[in-house]
Chain A
């Protein structure tokens, strides 16, 4: 008996030593780094205001007379050449002269600041907080991990994600080839790097943040030289349009009410609706109006990303395949599964209509961009010129789109890009020995695994340019153990062969997790930002 007790005690001591050894290893791994995290202060000339991300919460506007506005919510009105926002006005001794906004900001008139009186603009990024400690972070992560196990189809699936410096921080800019989930579906994807800060020595960081294998054939930059506030947008057919002005909408109505404050600036505050509880294939309409000052060629600019509905459906399909997923995907690769209308075809894209002189809605075009991660911007050119009021209608699937921005751009003409290949690739984390060669030789791929990260460098030719990412490749989902439990060929048959009926049946399970999917998704990334 005593002997058994001694053995147990010895085991406990051994376990304790082992655990402490692990903990102290963690501790020692932190010590040599002595990491330094600088505050980043950016000073911008007034002409560079459009390069400040509207998501930058605080902006200090230094006036020529020495006063300063500290704005916490703000927009730039290019037409009036003013910035408007809520915050405080401080005198030369930094005493508060006036405050507008705060909790009741909707009742206040915002400050309107003529940019002609502004000396310069300042933004600050205080860097990440350490307070709270790794213990709390670990606790939160563990909490979400538990939630993720309970809702496996809400967890992060990303395709390659591309980050660039937006002047304040390294910001998510694009996700590459989201629909290319197998080699046979490899294709190009063009994404606008809307908020990337232009500089001649430009860099993108590509990461793999999901349980996936990414094979990237290339990642080129498409550059369009531009002046001042000009912007370039790409249409669904891959044409690029240079635009010299963007009108703000005068009204925006959706089935659920006014949506104006959601779509007038690129601020991450998006318009979205919830999916229909009886049928995931249900449409809604948004009516948006503009006032134009002269008859000219116009195009509707849409900044949008998808909700997690398509991610849910894709993961659900893989879960139904269960242990046979590899078989089904191989069959698809061999072309043995005939192409037919899918659930994704039924959900569709965003259709745009314009109201003609007779009050009839005329179709103008359609956009379709798969992916729930990065907001992408496209233009739908309008067939005819409009003067004065322009009414446009967007028809889209309920609960499928998150729209951050709508604007009516004046098109000055079609333009062609300068294609720039990377000149260097720096491995942040990854196993590729020659990542640059993999990205520049046509028959090879840069292959990345969960947690990998590479910095891709480009030399850009112009003083200022609009940038797009042209990436090509495919990715392979890792089948999660939790999905195996859902193998169900009957439901797979229904999904593939009767997609319309399937979207009705899938409504109920989707609605159960819809409210929390977005949060769970972003907290389940393989690499936490």
Chain B
């Protein structure tokens, strides 16, 4: 009876965890399109941009290649598209993917693992839960993206593959997407 109640409490608490995590924003790019946070120093590709365009044009997303005076270069599918920067209504550039789901899983497993502690679980379970929720919550709320028009293209260009602008002498047909 006691065990069943205890498991029930855990399930409720885990639901609370998931609710809390969902209450905070988690913004991620497609898997494999940006590095993890720790890999960002070693990664020389641009961030993942999703742009909403004026006049009902199709939204566009892909690797952020470069910014010039009046244009943006974005790697869509396997080719670079050049769009006029003034035609972008809103855009979001994601630099890396957070590990929120891994942390949530870790928290859940750690909490379940405290069953093995016997009577000490009365202390280790809340400790694992507190630590796990705090860490998951912090991870979910990392600022891993920047939005336009909140930030100008001048500020955002540093998150492109070529922060200096498209180098002279490079033809956009030469550019390939990540991993190709």
Q: B55 contacts the other chain (Cβ, under 8 Å)?
A: no
* Interface residue stretch chosen among A56-64, A200-208, A495-503: A56-64
CB-based contact B96/A39 at 8 Å: yes
In the assembled complex, the CB of B91 is this many whole angstroms from the nearest CB of chain A, namely 17
CB-based contact A126/B126 at 8 Å: no
Assuming the contacts A30-B133, A90-B44, asked whether A39 and B95 have C-beta atoms less than 8 A apart, the reply is yes
CB-contact partner of A38 in B41, B129, B143, B161, under 8 A: B143
Q: A134 contacts the other chain (Cβ, under 8 Å)?
A: yes
Measured CA separation A37–B138 after assembly (Å) = 8
Q: B158 contacts the other chain (Cβ, under 8 Å)?
A: yes
- Residues of chain B at interface, number, CB under 8 A: 48
- A contact residues, range: 35 or more
Measured CA separation A92–B176 after assembly (Å) = 9
**Chain A residues closer than 8 Å to B96, beta-carbon distance:** 39
Within 8 A of A (CB), among B129-180: 129-135, 137-139, 141-144, 158-159, 161-164, 166-170, 174-176, 178, 180
Chain B residues near A (Cβ < 8 Å):
20, 24, 37-38, 40-42, 44-45, 95-96, 99, 103, 122-123, 126-135, 137-139, 141-144, 158-159, 161-164, 166-170, 174-176, 178, 180
Within 8 A of B (CB), among A274-300: none
Measured CA separation A31–B129 after assembly (Å) = 12
Measured CA separation A93–B127 after assembly (Å) = 47
CB-based contact A34/B130 at 8 Å: no
In the assembled complex, the CB of A151 is this many whole angstroms from the nearest CB of chain B, namely 29
In the assembled complex, the CB of B34 is this many whole angstroms from the nearest CB of chain A, namely 11
CB-based contact A133/B44 at 8 Å: no
Assuming the contacts A24-B126, A60-B44, asked whether A65 and B137 have C-beta atoms less than 8 A apart, the reply is no
CB-based contact B142/A62 at 8 Å: no
CB-based contact B44/A68 at 8 Å: yes
CB-based contact A37/B143 at 8 Å: yes
CB-based contact A92/B170 at 8 Å: yes
Nearest chain A residue, comparing its CB with the CB of B42: A70
CB-based contact B159/A41 at 8 Å: yes
Measured CA separation A187–B176 after assembly (Å) = 63
In the assembled complex, the CB of A262 is this many whole angstroms from the nearest CB of chain B, namely 25
**Chain A residues closer than 8 Å to B24, beta-carbon distance:** 34
- Please indicate which of the listed interface residues A41, A68, A133 has the most CB atoms of chain B within 10 Å of its own CB: A133
Q: List 28 A-B contacts (CB under 8 A).
A: A23-B127, A24-B126, A27-B133, A30-B130, A30-B133, A34-B24, A34-B141, A38-B142, A39-B40, A39-B143, A57-B41, A62-B162, A70-B44, A93-B174, A93-B176, A94-B161, A94-B178, A120-B163, A120-B164, A126-B37, A126-B38, A129-B38, A130-B135, A130-B138, A131-B103, A133-B134, A133-B135, A135-B128
